[in-house]
Structure 1
Amino acid sequence: MTHFRSHLAAAFAATGIFMAAPALAQSSNCQDAQKFLSERQTLIQQLNSLSGGKNKQVDPRAACAIFTKLTANGDTGMKWIEANKDWCQIPEQFADGFKKDHARSVEMKGKACAIAAKMEQMEKQAKNAQQNGGGGLLGGGGLTGTYTMPKGAL
């Protein structure tokens, strides 16, 4: 998770560089970046709040949902950067950083959603086993019947 945080810090740094750049082109289209960048920042803050502390487990289902939104945001951002890179004079460093950040988000989304799907499958199996008379300690049907102790000397 610390690797993820360092990549988030790099994304914020790149965002800061972009937002501090003077608006040389007076196109309202150049201002559209503010929308997806502020949404992206909010999503990253939500991801950071999931982890809470170093040893706290992150709920993969919540992470999957946020990463899904983050990758959709990244898709929008990548399209906007490609379409407006020259007109809005977007620094190459920012465009490359955003592209790498987006690729990491897609990778993390895949991992989080795969774990969430596995958890969902395991919970469904456990629920079905319990409803079908299961509930043994090892996941089976448990012990049934009676067992009598042998009589006599052991």
Structure 2
Amino acid sequence: MVRLNYALGRLAIFALGSVVLTAAAQADCNQDIAAFGQKRNAAIQKLNAISKAHGGKLDPVEACPALRSLNAVEGEMGAYLVKNKDWCNIPDDFLNQFKAGTAKTGGMASQACALAAKVKQMQQNGGGLGAAAAPPPVKLPAGPL
């Protein structure tokens, strides 16, 4: 009888220890994911501010670095989620949706940065037409009017 109580007591302590471990793991996962979420939200807020400053549209020159930053944060977060999938009990559906969202962000960043490069090149070339294609300056009349 004493031996059975001892064995049940050890089993209860072991079970309680695994529950505490699971709760501790969950707390670590929640803290880490929340930190990534804060970084991601900051990048999204920056993009929203750029959009608001330009009448609801993203300026590609300003949006390019912000989208790259958002894509980098999402990439780090995705790597964390994949690495800790089992530890944090992350469902496969969530991972697949997150990966798809990260791919869309990467595509938007690529498009915005390509457009920004074209805009910068056009600005350097004098509006894309070059100096040779610029219209001649208008001559003002000389003499008394």
Which TM class, normalised by the smaller chain length?
0.5 to 0.7
Output aligned runs, 1:13-32, within 5 Å.
24-27=22-25, 29-30=28-29, 31-32=31-32
1:86 match: secondary structure: coil
Runs of 4+ aligned residues of structure 1 deviating over 3 Å after TM superposition are 53-57
Structure 2 CA distance for partners of 1:65 and 1:54, relative to 1, 3 Å: closer
Report how many aligned residue pairs link the two structures: 117
Q: Are residues 78 and 125 of structure 1, via their aligned partners in 2, closer, same or farther at CA, if it must alter by over 3 Å? A: same
Task: Please tell me the residue identity of whatever aligns with 2:74.
Answer: G
Which residue does 1:112 correspond to in 2?
112
Q: Percent identity?
A: 32
Corresponding residue number in structure 1 for 2:69: 69
How many Å apart are 1:38 and its aligned residue? 1.2
Alignment check: 8 A CA contact 2:40 2:73 kept: yes
Deviations, residues 43-76 of structure 1 (Å, cap 9, x unaligned): 1122223222996432111110111101111110
Q: Which has the higher contact order (CA 8 A, sep 6+)?
A: 1
2-side partners of 1:58 and 1:71: how far apart?
A: 16
- What are the ranges of 5 or more consecutive residues in structure 2 without an aligned counterpart? 1-21, 139-145
Q: Does 1:92 align with 2:87?
A: no
Q: Distance in 2 between matches of 1:41 and 1:94?
A: 18
Q: Is the 8 A contact 1:25 1:87 kept in 2?
A: no
Contact 2:71 2:106 survives alignment (8 Å): yes
Match of 2:134 in 1: 139
Aligned to 1:40: 40
**CA displacement at 1:25 relative to structure 2:** 4.3
TM (norm. structure 2) is 0.67
- Aligned residue identity for 1:44: I
Secondary structure of 1:97's match?
helix
CA radius of gyration, larger in: 2
The whole-number CA distance in structure 2 between the counterparts of 1:139 and 1:29 is: 62
Equivalent residue, structure 2, for 1:151 = none
Greater share of residues in helix? 2
Cα-Cα RMSD? 3.2
Q: Name the aligned partner's letter for residue 64 of structure 1.
A: C
Question: What do residues 9-56 of structure 1 show as CA deviations (whole Å, max 9, x unaligned)?
Answer: xxxxxxxxxxxxxxx541364121221111111211222232229964
Distance 1:62 1:143 in 2: 33
- Structure 2 distance, partners of 1:90, 1:99, is 13
- Name the structure 1 match of 2:18: none
Partners in 1 of 2:134 and 2:56 — Cα distance? 28
